[in-house]
Amino acid sequence: MTVFDPELEARLIRYAAVDTQSDEMGEASPSTPIQLDLARMLVAELQDIGAADVRLTEYGAVLATIPGTAPGPVVGFLAHIDTAPAYNATGVKPVVHRGYNGGPISFADAPGLVLSPEASPYLAGKVGHDIITASGTTLLGADDKAGIAILMVMARHLIAHPQIARPTLRLAFTPDEEIGRGVDKRLPADLGAEFAYTLDGGAVGEIEYESFSADAAVVTVTGVSTHPGTAKGKMVNALHLVARLVGLLPQATQTPEVTEGREGFLHLYELTGTAAEATLKFILRDFELDGLAAKGALLQQACDAVQAMEPRASLTCVIRPQYRNMRYWLEKDMRPVDLAREACREEGIEPVSVPIRGGTDGSRLTEMRVPCPNIFTGMQDIHGPLEWISVQDMAAALRVCLRLVQKAAGS
């Protein structure tokens, strides 16, 4: 156990208990007012530890400064406040499994649910660690409240120890990352960093500078509605057309459940509607822009084919950009990545860079000319009831960050 473990554990448990789930249907920023509950808590805690320039922006981000004690570039650190809409996040009850014994972990509120090293191989290497899970009926929210906890402990420690050399550091805790709206257009200027890091990664040693490129698509299918008793030759059932459309898509080769590594996908994640009209929501992902464009073209072709089958119906397909692979910018200047890798090695951790099968706030920030790779926190099996994290992994991430800021001093 390190000196930081108890504080990291306590902070994660405290933050995870606050419901901060985002909602892509919400039109405000943040998309849900409950995210402000944690934002205001963080403002108070930052003020208590002596951070400077603490404020809650009108778009829901918490910003603060850790004053520098040495020359060097202004470095930003970010974590996101919201938790994923994909699974229940109300009433999170974190549970600490002290000194993990290597066997299956059961859940107090879900007797049939089991977290095992067979299903989650990374867990097998955490014997003796303190593992935090939820109680079985919610996600935990380590994504990304582990990142928040790590940065808050880093801030408190640095402010309490001005003898530690570091440049000026800027912290940002953002809303709505999980729905792709974490980086407001005003954030880069408000952050004021030369480069930055998101604390939003998984396994120890991961320093990530490559993410998916992402688009979102909404398909609207409008049929012809009439009374079913007199519908012959008149009705066009929108739900039947939806079935045809989905059947034309490459479910065996290009969906999340059958892809891995550098393979992209086309994911239908929401379907609502009636026989009169239905709406399908998709996310399109690929590491390369031509692959992303091909997936959009494939979806449009399927819509066109169904439209041709039934000209009395109306099918529209609207595709909008979400974020782009941060590699396109970071590969032109790898200094932030190299600095993080060097910090890892000096802490006895071999850095690993794997492409993120998703995106971070860093994807958008990098695209907006604030280079922002991603650093591990230890979070695993996120967005569901089996989510877990090792306190000791969080401590490893904290040590890397402390090492990084010292290396940035004078650079």
Is residue 82 among the annotated active site residues? Answer: yes
Q: State how far the Cα of 186 lies from the Cα of 401, in Å rounded to an integer.
A: 25
The DSSP 8-state label assigned to residue 232 in this structure reads T
In the chain, the largest separation of any two C-alpha atoms, in whole Å, equals 83
Q: State how far the Cα of 390 lies from the Cα of 352, in Å rounded to an integer.
A: 18
Q: State how far the Cα of 277 lies from the Cα of 264, in Å rounded to an integer.
A: 29
Residue with tokens 């399908």: 280
The active-site residue, picked from 177, 184, 206, 393, is: 177
Which secondary-structure segment (H or E) carries 154? helix 142-160
DSSP 3-state of 320? strand
User: Identity (one letter) of the amino acid at 361?
Assistant: D
Please give the full DSSP string across 188-224, using - where no structure is assigned.
HHHH--SEEEEEEE-STTBEE--B-EEEEEEEEEE-B
The active-site residue, picked from 7, 9, 45, 82, is: 82
The residues with which 171 forms a beta bridge, in sequence order, are 64, 77
Structure tokens given for 154? 């880093």
Residues 6+ apart with CB under 8 A from 337: 207, 209, 330, 353, 373
Cα–Cα nearest to 396, from 199, 121, 208? 199
Residue with tokens 């000319």: 369
Compute the Cα dihedral for 43, 47, 50, 56 and give only its sign: positive
Alpha carbon 8 to its chain centroid, in Å, reads 20
Cα–Cα nearest to 38, from 55, 12, 22, 20? 20
Is residue 130 among the annotated active site residues? Answer: no
Q: State how far the Cα of 243 lies from the Cα of 203, in Å rounded to an integer.
A: 39
User: Identity (one letter) of the amino acid at 61?
Assistant: A
Alpha carbon 375 to its chain centroid, in Å, reads 12
Among all residues, which ones are annotated catalytic?
A: 82, 177
